[in-house]
Structure 1
Amino acid sequence: MNRLLQALAGAIFWLFLCIASGQTLPAAVNTDPARAVVTLPDPANPALPSLILVGDSTVRNGKDDGQGQGPAGQWGWGRPIEEYFDTRRINVVNRAVGGLSSRTYLTSGHWQRTLALVKPGDVVILQFGHNDASPVNDERRARGTLRGVGDESETIDNLLTGQRETVYTYGWYLRRFIAEIRARGASAIVCSPVPFKRWDADGKVGRARADYGGWAAQVARQEKAGFIDLNEAAATRYDALGRDAVMQLFPQVTPEETVHTNLAGARLNAEVVVAGIGALGVPVLVGALNDRGRAIAPLEDARPVVEGSAAAQRPANGLPTIFLVGDSTVKSGGKDGMVGWGERIAPYFDAGKVNVVNHAIGGRSSRTFLTEGRWAKVLEQLRPGDAVLIQFGHNDGGRIGDPAMKGRASGPGTGPETVTDRKSDGSAEEVHTFGWYMARYVADARARGATVVLLSPVPHRDRWQQERDFAGFAAWGKEVAQQGGALFADLTLVVTAGYRSIGAAAVDGFFADARTHTNDAGAAFNARCVVAALQGLPGRPFERWLRQGK
């Protein structure tokens, strides 16, 4: 008995020494992921740029092997995302650790070890949130962060480590990561956490807009970092698939599991992240996508569609009217600080000579503006001598039939070919090319005696410096205009030239979101560019309506 007591006392003393000295405990004793031994990959080829993933088990689960259950086990999206990149051009390095929060990824030392691998030109994606909601101080994990994105802090005596620690907000930790990534000459992208397998009273998958998803977006906006709303986009896809199909994206052996997907679910989330990368347009990442990655439509095509049933009406004053037709870059209505150029162009025209009526509406493409009957309402108001400015393209990309595209994608090109889009309600739609829809607008409006101007889309915030944005849509619009007797203005290049004249710092101040929608100042700038583009048209047909001195 004495020997047993001595052995027990010795074991307890050894355990105390391990904890006090910070040594790693055996797996049977140490259940705290922050102090577990984890082997993480290094970049395979240090000469290449790296995409480094940092997060929790929804990015890298356990040993990243499905827990020995193959595709049916638990997987993070960081494993299948490598399938969408050409690893001869980029390293995909999954440094996420299951069980950690933004706080414990830092305090465990994993962040310091990961940061040491980051070099100029790399990109780091950060996705935390699920474990940040845990208790701030307990004897099990002590991994929670303070709620929100402020600078609040709380000093605790950590019940798990026995150490005094200052705990900050979720947003504070993300901001620290972003700052230290940039100090290494790399870029940071913030990703909202994957959605839970939970449904609300309306049968929709729950969103995290009010907490970690919304806070992640807020930090990205504050820091002008890239943002991928994985939570919203994946939930949208879940809703489109339906509950039964979503259940198949999670491990069947643990039906109570609501967070961790199987390999099929991880692959869906990986596709959403790739779509977000495409939307952000980061050159080093987009340039390293393989054929499979390039086939995924950018996430911007999954933006919410603005509701709107009432069509704008031309004033009953007998004056000619300029009708504006387009998407949210032409009219956003101030939602979330977003303003379209069509909402700031009227002051450039003499109200005693011409009306300006904005029929644009957020979320529409050349296809849906026609199929929803909105074009028919414009035609009802058209009179000989009117003019129509038409700008589409932002919502026309993507794969026809993909639920995330919300039935908006049109076919590429200008030809007569069609693709059948079979809907979930059993109906089918023959979808035409972008050029077919634009040609329809031109023919209809010219038959009413109106002048038609096709405009290429305003450029993205992140594309105008690197490459010619919307090259395909501009070429198709120009071809349609030439063949149909309309006018064409390359608004993309006109705005790009304007952006270059004032510089990137000023341009960054023109946007209300990461890359697409302008704020009031940006809308005013783009409106001036539209007027400049109109003044450059052959014959200057809009000159007679412009106000002097504008």
Structure 2
Amino acid sequence: MAEPMNVSRRSALIALGTASLSMAVSPAFAESPDPQADKTLYLAGDSTAAQMHQDSIPYAGWGMGLPYYVTPRLAVSNHAVSGRSSKSFIDEGRLAAILGMIKSGDILVTQFGHNDQKAEDAKRYTEPWTTYKDHLRQYVDGARSKGAVPVLATSAERRRFDRAGNAYSSHGEYPAAMRSLAEEMGVPLIDAQASTLALWQQLGPEETKKYFLYTEDGKRDNTHFQPRGAAAIAQIAAQGLSNLNVLENGYTRRLDEVTPLSWFTWPGGTTPPPAPL
């Protein structure tokens, strides 16, 4: 299966280095299909992909950067919510809500794994090779039942380095289980885990702090992103959708550019706090 193109260090640093954050309040996602759009991409996921609000600046989910890469023919409807797993998202009726709106030709991108690892939390935990795959099947089968295109995306890697400065995986067997399911069911796969692991390795321990929530007020979060990190992952996702032919010509644009920091906006309101990951 085709692999998404990695973000190069050169493109990430040059394109992002000179941009400034925008404090505009218009959301960077479509809550309902744009009248100009003839299809909609729905995103199901957790805090690493979710829309954030003004109280959370500079915290950003990668779904906030995704609209930069699509033309007005494609609406992006970001349903990712902090703290959810593949199981709890379904149990709360969130997948059912998407399936109530999605139509033939639309796309459902599903990315879970961070919170599925919570063995101490029965409401969220899934076992990689059994219940995790079982829940992911519901997203795939649900999308297909509506004539939509399901896409699976492995979780973006956390910022983890050993003493020698080598980036290492923190997701256990969850990415492998998702890859296995994608092959079994013939589902397009964006391997964000492999791509981000390679990117963090390329950038190194210090430079990656600019991508995660390392802030002047002392926050040190190695899981969640500020705009620079969200932008890099949005580009990985968009390039993956194009390389997999999920999005054809006419639906994508600017795939060789990294989402400018000025693209990120935080609407008013309060963001639910992310669960510790």
* Band of TM-score, shorter chain: 0.7 to 0.9
Match of 2:252 in 1: 289
Q: Would the aligned equivalents of 1:191 and 1:229 in 2 still touch at CA under 8 Å? A: yes
Match of 2:174 in 1: 212
Match of 1:67 in 2: 55
Match of 2:263 in 1: none
What whole-Å deviation, never above 9, does each CA across 1:135-162 have from its counterpart, x for those lacking one?
3646xxx3212x1233xxxxxxxxxxxx
Distance 1:80 1:234 in 2: 16
Structure 1 residue runs without a partner (length 5+): 1-39, 151-168, 298-550
Check if 1:55 corresponds to 2:40: no
Q: Would the aligned equivalents of 2:42 and 2:108 in 1 still touch at CA under 8 Å? A: yes
What whole-Å deviation, never above 9, does each CA across 1:189-231 have from its counterpart, x for those lacking one?
1000010111135422222574111111111111110001101
- Over 3 Å counting, the alpha-carbon distance change for 1:207 and 1:186 in structure 2 is same
- Over 3 Å counting, the alpha-carbon distance change for 1:267 and 1:261 in structure 2 is same
Distance 2:140 2:163 in 1: 37
Q: Would the aligned equivalents of 1:190 and 1:227 in 2 still touch at CA under 8 Å? A: yes
Match of 1:233 in 2: 195
Match of 2:70 in 1: 85
Q: Would the aligned equivalents of 2:109 and 2:152 in 1 still touch at CA under 8 Å? A: yes
Distance 1:190 1:177 in 2: 9
Distance 1:197 1:137 in 2: 23
Alignment of 1:99-248 (within 5 A): 99-135=83-119, 137=121, 142-145=123-126, 147-150=127-130, 169-207=131-169, 210-248=172-210
- Over 3 Å counting, the alpha-carbon distance change for 1:258 and 1:182 in structure 2 is same
Q: Would the aligned equivalents of 2:47 and 2:81 in 1 still touch at CA under 8 Å? A: yes
Q: Would the aligned equivalents of 1:67 and 1:74 in 2 still touch at CA under 8 Å? A: no
Moved over 4 A (4+): none
Match of 2:266 in 1: none
Alignment of 1:442-453 (within 5 A): none
Distance 1:268 1:236 in 2: 12
The alignment covers a number of residue pairs equal to 227
SS at match of 1:242: helix
Q: Would the aligned equivalents of 2:43 and 2:80 in 1 still touch at CA under 8 Å? A: yes
TM-score, normalisation: structure 2? 0.76
SS at match of 1:200: coil
SS at match of 1:198: coil
What whole-Å deviation, never above 9, does each CA across 1:342-376 have from its counterpart, x for those lacking one?
xxxxxxxxxxxxxxxxxxxxxxxxxxxxxxxxxxx
- In the TM superposition, residue 127 of structure 1 has moved relative to its aligned partner by 0.2
- In the TM superposition, residue 105 of structure 1 has moved relative to its aligned partner by 0.4
Letter in 2 for 1:190: L
Q: Would the aligned equivalents of 1:208 and 1:231 in 2 still touch at CA under 8 Å? A: no
Distance 2:229 2:161 in 1: 17
What whole-Å deviation, never above 9, does each CA across 1:450-487 have from its counterpart, x for those lacking one?
xxxxxxxxxxxxxxxxxxxxxxxxxxxxxxxxxxxxxx
TM-score, normalisation: structure 1? 0.39
Letter in 2 for 1:126: T
Distance 1:283 1:275 in 2: 9
Letter in 2 for 1:249: Y
Q: Would the aligned equivalents of 1:101 and 1:128 in 2 still touch at CA under 8 Å? A: yes
Letter in 1 for 2:53: D
What whole-Å deviation, never above 9, does each CA across 1:57-106 have from its counterpart, x for those lacking one?
00105xx235342xxx21110001111111x2110111111111100100
Distance 1:66 1:144 in 2: 30
Residue number among 21, 25, 33 corresponding to 1:43 in the alignment: 33
Distance 2:36 2:91 in 1: 26
- Over 3 Å counting, the alpha-carbon distance change for 1:137 and 1:240 in structure 2 is closer
Distance 1:44 1:204 in 2: 43
What whole-Å deviation, never above 9, does each CA across 1:109-167 have from its counterpart, x for those lacking one?
111111111100011110000011113646xxx3212x1233xxxxxxxxxxxxxxxxx
Q: Using the aligned pairs only, state the percent identity.
A: 26
Q: Would the aligned equivalents of 1:195 and 1:207 in 2 still touch at CA under 8 Å? A: yes
Q: CA RMSD in A?
A: 2.1
Distance 2:140 2:82 in 1: 21
SS at match of 2:80: coil
Distance 2:65 2:105 in 1: 23
Q: Would the aligned equivalents of 1:49 and 1:122 in 2 still touch at CA under 8 Å? A: yes
Q: Would the aligned equivalents of 2:152 and 2:189 in 1 still touch at CA under 8 Å? A: yes
Match of 1:76 in 2: 61
Letter in 2 for 1:83: Y
What whole-Å deviation, never above 9, does each CA across 1:172-195 have from its counterpart, x for those lacking one?
000111011001001111000010
Q: Would the aligned equivalents of 2:118 and 2:124 in 1 still touch at CA under 8 Å? A: yes
SS at match of 2:168: coil
Check if 1:273 corresponds to 2:237: yes
Distance 1:104 1:269 in 2: 24
SS at match of 1:135: coil
SS at match of 2:223: coil
SS at match of 1:149: helix
Letter in 2 for 1:101: S
- In the TM superposition, residue 49 of structure 1 has moved relative to its aligned partner by 0.4
Which of the pair has more CA radius of gyration? 1
Letter in 1 for 2:69: Y
- In the TM superposition, residue 287 of structure 1 has moved relative to its aligned partner by 3.1
Match of 1:95 in 2: 79
Distance 2:91 2:183 in 1: 25
Alignment of 1:473-488 (within 5 A): none
Q: Would the aligned equivalents of 1:102 and 1:174 in 2 still touch at CA under 8 Å? A: yes
Distance 2:201 2:156 in 1: 14
Q: Would the aligned equivalents of 1:124 and 1:189 in 2 still touch at CA under 8 Å? A: yes
Distance 1:281 1:246 in 2: 30
Distance 2:36 2:144 in 1: 19
